[in-house]
Every structure is written in C-alpha cells, then in structure tokens.
Structure 1
Amino acid sequence: MKRLRYFMDLDKEEEWLNEKAKEGNVLYQKSFFYHFKATTEKDPTLKLDYRTFKHREDFEDYIALFEDSGWKHIAGSKRSGVQYFQRVSNEATGDIFSDSHSKAERYKRYAQTSASLLFTYFILLIGLMSADVLHLQEMLQPKSLYYTPGLWEKEGADFWRAFLFETPFAFFRGFAWLLFPIAIVIFFLSATISYIKYEKLVNQ
C-alpha cells in the first residue's frame, strides 16, 4: 500500500505513521510515497529522528547505535534528513531520545535545514525576477503563453489538437514559478514550527 502525504511537523508525521501501524499497516520504505506493509504486531512503535551525514561510515555507525538499543532503521538515507525507526525489542525504551535535550536537537536540525531551503528558494525567486525570466503580467493574458503560430485563428479539430498539445507547456511557462513562493511558505512554516518546539523543550 502506498500513500502520498507531506508533513511540516515531525510530530504530526510520527503520530500519523503510528496510527497507520495500529491499523495494521507499518511503514517499510519512504521515497516520494510512504510504502506500507501489513503487520500483525499488536503495538508497533515508530519514531523519527532528523540527521544528515557527509560520510557513509558515520551513517552506518548511527544506525548500528540505534539497532543495538532495540530500534530498527526502516527508512531514510544519509542525505534524506528524516530517519525512521521501529522498535523491535521489548527491552527498548519507549523513545529513541534519552532526554529532552537530545529531542530538542532534532527540532533544531530540522529548523536549520528548513531555513536554509527557505533562503535558497527565496534567492532563486529573486534571481529569476531580476533576470526577467518571470513575467507576472502573463497571468492576466494567458493567450500570450501559447507560441503556436496562428493558433487562435484555427478552427474545429485543428484548433483543439494544437490547443491541447501546447496547454501543458503554456501552463509550465506561466505558472511553474508559483512553486517557488509555495516552497518558501512551506519551509518557513516548517522552520517556525520546529524552532518553537525546540525553544519549548530547551526552556523546560
């Protein structure tokens, strides 16, 4: 079973995954989609961490440390950031974090990454606008996005064939830039939510 979801809050994602697990579907792979498999475990527990690694050896040592503590690494790569663990030992504690400080550091790392991506997308958007690549006025004149010569003079099947063929390209030319402000908002919210949770735990 596959599901497509996006979370700006690690706690919300963790809660959703555990709810799915209690329903009998436990995560076993995470790519663009969440991949689930059926499970008969009564109370499977999944926990999330957030870390990236420059070296493969450091990533493997990180996984081994958790597995020695009774937590199996089920998804995530050295560059993916979010790491997914499932408790596989009855002797494992109820959380992958030993104290509130280590859990707070997870939120700090996630907030820093989100802030970096926010800055990157903002700079790219400003750069595209400065280079006159984005023409916001074309949103008010969508016909100008179609480059097929004589398109609007065509009639009948010829018109619809040419129109439908070029529409995806016209949409990309005119509206793909909206992905940038959308990404900026998403990363801003992710960074803000994580930083607030970090501050809350640090000040406990």
Structure 2
Amino acid sequence: MKKLRWFVNFEKEEKYLSEMASNGWKLERYSIFGIYTFKKNPPQQINYRIDYRTFKNRKKHSDYIDFLDDAGWKLVSGGYHLGYHFFIPKDKSFENDALFSDEESYRQRINALVKNCLYGFLLSIIYAIVFWGSALNNSLISIFDPKTWYLTPGLWEMTGWRFLFSFLFETPFVIFRSAPPFILVLISVILGIQALRAYYEQKRGKA
C-alpha cells in the first residue's frame, strides 16, 4: 500500500508511522516525493526514528549505517542520495530512546536539511525559469495557452478523425516537451515543504 503524506515535523511523522504499524502496516520504503510504501504486517508497536544526513561518498554512508546498527538501530529505509533515514530499534528496551542524545548531532541534522532544501529549491526554480524563458523566446509555447504546446500546422482547424489522430499522435511529444518545467516546479514545492519542516524544527529551539 502506498500513501502520499507530507510532514513539517519529524515527531509527527514518527508518530504517524507508529500508528500505521499498530494498524498492521509496516513501513517498507520512503520516496523523497512524500510517498510511503507500507507492507501488510501483524499489528505491532514500533517506535520509528528519523534522521536526515547526506554523505560525500558511499563509504561514509555505509559507516553511518553500521554505526547505528551496532548501537541497536535497524535501517528500514534510506539511501545514499535520499538524505532521509528511517530506523527502528532492534531491542525493545530502548525503543523510546532518541537516535542521538547530544545537541550537536541534532543540529547537524537540521543544518543539513536546511542547506539541501534551499539549494534544491533555488536550483529547481532557476531551471524552470530558464526552460520557460527559452521556450517563450523561441515562440514554442505559452504557459497559459496549452494550444501553443502543439506544433502540428493547422491542428486546431482540423475536424473529425483527422483532428483526433493528429491530436493523439502529438500529445506524447507535448508531454515530453512541457513536462520538465512542471516537474521542476513540483520538486520546488516539495523542497519548500521540507524547508518549512526545518524551519519549524528551528523555531522549537532545538537547533
């Protein structure tokens, strides 16, 4: 089962995942687009812990996973480029503990989240503007007029089956040409939400 959810607070996200586990749905993996994939499982109490860290190379990432595994935390989902890592305790005796108890570790998590979200947000916006600007300058498309996205001469004067065939034939190419900026805008929105999450954490006085 897949669920689309966006959170601006780590604790609320951890609570949500724990509630899903108690209802028989265990987290299997997470996508940066906010898609949670759950696997049907016997209801159980699982206290998830979320960490956000990026790494310069795979060796450092592997060392990080090994360090937490030795400390009693099992990785559920999280990759080298993802940033987000979801853990569950291997021993129920410390399932209510935090991944890191020191302030510096918490600060590193928030600072990494802020930096990456802002960089990604700005780059996505810049790329979207450059794409649209180039397209508009070349009179290829107009943002607010989808008809201009189709380049078949006389398409909108056609009728009947001829129009339908030409329209359906070109539509995949239109999607290919116009999708990138919309995807970039979507990514910008997602990164903006993640930046809001970091800001919320900072306002709570923990970073």
Match of 1:128 in 2: 131
CA distance in 1, matches of 2:27, 2:149: 43
2:55 is aligned to 53
Q: Deviations over 1:63-105 (max 9, x none)?
A: 1221222210111112210011111212325121214553343
Unaligned runs of at least 5 residues, structure 2: none
- The answer for unaligned runs of 5 or more in structure 1 is none
2:202 aligns with: 198
The one of 154, 157, 166 equivalent to 2:170 is 166
| 1:112-134 Cα shifts (integer Å, max 9, x gaps) | 1101101211322343355x224
Q: Which whole-Å CA distance do the structure 2 matches of 1:100 and 1:41 have between them?
A: 34
Aligned Cα root-mean-square deviation (Å): 2.8
Identity value in percent: 31
Instruction: Flag the 1:157–1:52 CA change in 2: closer, same or farther, 3 A.
Output: same
Secondary structure at the aligned position of 1:26 is classed as strand
Mapping 1:1-204, distance limit 5 Å: 2-11=1-10, 12-31=12-31, 33-40=35-42, 42-94=44-96, 95-130=98-133, 132-134=134-136, 138-171=142-175, 173-174=177-178, 176-202=180-206
- Normalising by structure 2, report the TM-score: 0.79
Give aligned pairs, total. 201
Provide the C-alpha distance between the structure 2 equivalents of 1:57 and 1:15, rounded to a whole number of angstroms: 31
Kindly state the Cα deviation for residue 21 of structure 1 after the two structures are TM-superposed: 0.9
Decide whether the 8 Å contact of 1:71 with 1:92 is kept in 2.
no
The answer (yes or no) to whether the contact 2:55–2:80 under 8 Å persists in 1 is yes
Distance 1:136 1:149 in 2: 13
Q: With structure 1 as the length reference, what TM-score do the two structures score?
A: 0.80
SS at match of 1:184: helix
Give the residue type in structure 1 aligned to 2:86.
Answer: Y
Mean Cα displacement is larger for which, 143-152 or 69-78?
143-152
